[in-house]
Amino acid sequence: MGSPDDEEGRDEDEGPVRSVRLEPFWMGVHEVTWDEYAVFRFVDRDSDSTSAPGGAYRADAAARPSPPYEDPSHGLGNEGHPAAGMTQWAALQYAKWLSEKTGDFYRLPTEAEWEYACRAGGTEPVSGVALERSAWYFDNSGETFHPVGRKRPNAWGIFDLLGNVAEWTLDQYAADYFGRIPEDGTAEPWVIPTRLHPRTVRGGAFDDDPDAVRCAARLESSLTWKRRDPQIPKSFWWNTDSQFVGFRLVRPAVRPSDEDIEFFWFQVLGG
């Protein structure tokens, strides 16, 4: 993980380079789209059905997003486009809802999992023509995000990890993240959140320069992403000014126990 000192566009919070160990996981081929998020967002699009054997699910009992102050996508696109503008908490609530519906366990990726998937076995940054072919960023996006899967996937068949919308990870942002990882490697690094901000966002977005659209690039969330929200208290669900941030989900290859899953939701959602 991380970038060497001579990588173009490198920031100080991207190193030193570390090796880590991860358990197997599946990752969404695409960023979660507005079409998918709408089934969670609007109760009339959901149902009591569940694919979990013997599962008991009530659509009208699920916690759902409150009405946003304004269009979260800012008119940049809906059907087929990545869902964006929600808080990390809202992305995690979607993951919890999907887990309850399916009986599987979905969550956001950790920084380590995200970077591992982005690199897809490589070590060099994606740049030049390769970046143009695989990512939407400032030079080619027309200053808007695009429907998922329109650019080339990476070597592991995953689309839009770089560009389009940046993506929430599970970690609280720490400038010294890599310094916390022992030089001899560690298993499953995760900076467990202790406050709402800052959290770590990865991948760069449609309005970023190429320097920010790299597997090692890191962005910390900011309270300014809610600056136009007039509500008191401000919405837990929406950021009025982060239409460049979305998310995708992962699913561990081995499902944790029900007790471990319950504790996880308590850690990240407070219950």
Q: Where does the pLDDT of residue 77 fall: very low under 50, low under 70, confident under 90, or very high at 90 and above? A: confident
- At 108-146, the pLDDT tens digits run 999 999 999 999 999 899 999 999 999 999 999 999 999
Question: How far from 100 is each of 103, 168, 235, 258, CA to CA, in Å?
Answer: 6, 21, 24, 11
Block residue for tokens 């190429």: 210
Coil, strand or helix at 14: helix
Range among 45-59, 101-115, 228-242 rated most confident: 101-115
Coil, strand or helix at 113: helix
Pair 104, 25: CB distance under 8 Å: no
Average pLDDT in the 23-39 region?
A: 97
Is 147 exposed, middle or buried (CB count within 10 Å of its CB: 0-12, 13-18, 19+)?
middle
What tokens does 112 get? Answer: 């380590």
Average pLDDT in the 36-55 region?
A: 90
Q: Which of 90, 63, 115 is nearest to 268 (CA)?
A: 90
pLDDT of 195 strictly over 70: yes
Q: Where does the pLDDT of residue 251 fall: very low under 50, low under 70, confident under 90, or very high at 90 and above? A: very high
What tokens does 196 get? Answer: 């709402």
Pair 210, 231: CB distance under 8 Å: no
In this prediction, residue 243 carries a pLDDT of 93
- At 54-75, the pLDDT tens digits run 778 899 989 999 999 888 887 8
In this prediction, residue 50 carries a pLDDT of 86
In this prediction, residue 271 carries a pLDDT of 58
12-269: CATH architecture = Alpha-Beta Complex (3.90)
Mean pLDDT (the chain, rounded): 94
- At 196-217, the pLDDT tens digits run 889 999 999 999 999 999 999 9
Q: Which residues of 100-116 are buried (b: 16+ CB within 10 A; e: fewer)?
A: bbeeebbbbbbbbbbbb
Coil, strand or helix at 16: coil
Which residues, 6+ apart, have CB-to-CB distance to 36 below 8 Å? 83
Pair 33, 82: CB distance under 8 Å: yes
Question: Residue 248 gets which letter from DSSP?
Answer: -
Query: With pLDDT > 90 as the criterion, what percentage of the chain qualifies?
Result: 83
Q: Where does the pLDDT of residue 186 fall: very low under 50, low under 70, confident under 90, or very high at 90 and above? A: confident
> Domain limits of the chain?
12-269
pLDDT of 3 strictly over 80: yes
In this prediction, residue 70 carries a pLDDT of 86
In this prediction, residue 75 carries a pLDDT of 84
* 71 vs 217: CA distance, rounded Å: 28
In this prediction, residue 31 carries a pLDDT of 98
What pTM does this model have?
A: 0.95
Q: Which residues of 30-51 are buried (b: 16+ CB within 10 A; e: fewer)?
A: bbbbbebbebbbeeeebeeebe
What tokens does 22 get? Answer: 């991860």
